[in-house]
Structure 1
């Protein structure tokens, strides 16, 4: 994450310095889970949201799914809808044939419809198509 810190620092050169924050609490240096918890809590800010987008964009599907499992278990409604939609979308793009992930993402998306109901239904159909060959062959 050192490259991210350098990138973000480069964007702030020449700006007036305000009160400095301790390095350990700078959103740019936090894990995806830490950022998601901030978004779900009272610490939500543009800076936290920006850092979340940056980190989730380059996170692995495993890291994203783990973050979603923890944050949704801690407070199902805590994580903003845009943040969970983005996380599920990026995880599904990395694991396009993960039937379980597709179904969980579709269920979550359907929970915040009706705008996304058609997308959620298509995700379920895709999961069913992927699962169909396995149903005839016991493992």
Structure 2
């Protein structure tokens, strides 16, 4: 087993900023997705921020990135900064998700207004 979700993602997808480590473990995407599904928000955010520090970069597939943000938001639904970060990621990947991104920003704005 990898030492972290980030290490697992790096082995599976590579890393734009560091070499992919030599690893003797079996790399199947469904094992990574299982680990991602049950990871805590901190581990998921650490992976996103290390492998995609500027949101527009990184080697994570778009669908993995979207799933990761969705899982984080399920665990931390009331954090306006995370809602906006997820929206920004969605906007970068085409108009299909613009309505969802706009909804996330509206929710962040409402949370900011109520606090």
Q: Which TM-score bucket, shorter chain as reference?
A: 0.7 to 0.9
Q: Secondary structure at the match of 1:102?
A: helix
Q: Which runs of 4+ in 1 moved over 4 A?
A: none
The equivalent of 2:24 in structure 1 is none
The structure whose Rg is larger is: 1
Unpaired segments of 5 or more residues in structure 2?
Answer: 21-26
Alignment RMSD (CA, Å): 2.1
Number of aligned residue pairs? 104
The equivalent of 1:66 in structure 2 is 46
Q: Distance in 2 between matches of 1:51 and 1:34?
A: 13
Unpaired segments of 5 or more residues in structure 1?
Answer: 1-28, 135-139
Q: Conserved in 2, the CA contact under 8 Å of 1:106 and 1:124?
A: yes
Q: CA deviation at 1:39?
A: 3.6
Higher relative contact order (CA 8 A, sep 6+): 2
Q: CA deviation at 1:122?
A: 0.3
For normalisation by structure 1, the TM-score amounts to 0.68
Q: Distance in 1 between matches of 2:63 and 2:43?
A: 18
